[in-house]
Amino acid sequence: MSQVTPPLPRRQLGSSGPQVSAIGYGAMGLSGVYGTADDTESARLLGDLLDLGVNFLDTADVYGEGHNEKLISGLLAKRRDEVVLATKFGANKDSGGGRPEYVRQAVDASLSRLGTDHIDLYYLHRLDPTTPIEETVGALAELVQAGKVRHLGLSEISANTLRRAHAVHPIAAVQQEYSLFTRDPEADLVPALRELGVALVAYSPLGRGVLTGAFSDISDVENLAVRKQRYPRFQEESLRHNIELTRPLRERAEALGISPAQLALAWLLAQGDDVVPIPGSRRIERVKDNIAAATTALDPVVVAELSAQFPPGAAAGERYTPAGMARLDR
């Protein structure tokens, strides 16, 4: 497969972090989260991503209990130098995921599964309330000194925690849910990120599929039973509301001659050069559609219209179950 034309623009992660494609790829869905995935097809898709210009791949040790990292190892064995690799640790249900001894165990386990000698961006997946963030980041800084990790990241953390962490060692990126449906980071976190020179890596940038416009009814949602169990926004009443909420997005996208997914991602990219969305899909056609957003320039009037049509709090339902929300640092 030849590379897209024009080539995907690049964005820098943090003040001194790596250059990555403006649209990255979240690989969680390749480990059966939203439906069955075929490893052979997934491996082919990962290779196609690089051919299309996407060099930023995101995984985590918890995805498929290590399956996701092992899957990506096949790509790294052949094309390691082409990949900016991000993985995460510390989302296990047991407390203590941020303890220095756990940090050292987790990175070695991930490196083994990935079959590589370094991780480009290593995130703390969820804050450990039993361990001061300074201790966790101190242990992570030791991994940088040892050459096992190139850059540090945090996920789902508050502005205060970010400042405390950054004072110990520079943080290159914070991974946070951010989309037209979830604009929470704009209030406090985004100003702190920009104050410190830290990038925002936006996960679930398409509202776990709802913002793609693919769902006209709740019956269209693949693997709905699993989604309802994990994500309250997929409970029937909330889901009906959220699908209806996408109507202006779909109408505007049609008028512009692009897909709703492209429009939603282009809106995110327009929020600043320090924002990098990482949509994920198991279908190469949707991947191509998503990455086209990186070269889709929106008129500021359109950006403002969408911001007004999707104000903070417009989506119905919490992002996670009560147990999941309790794990977020807010």
Residue 10 in contact with residue 20, Cβ under 8 Å? yes
Catalytic residue among 25, 34, 63, 231, which? 63
- Residue 30, C-beta contacts closer than 8 angstroms, at least 6 positions apart: 37, 42, 45, 46, 68, 71, 280, 282
Q: What are the structure tokens assigned to 296, written together? A: 């889709």
Q: Tell me whether residue 63 is one of the annotated catalytic residues.
A: yes
Question: Residue type for 261, please?
Answer: A
For the annotated catalytic residues, the residue numbers are: 63
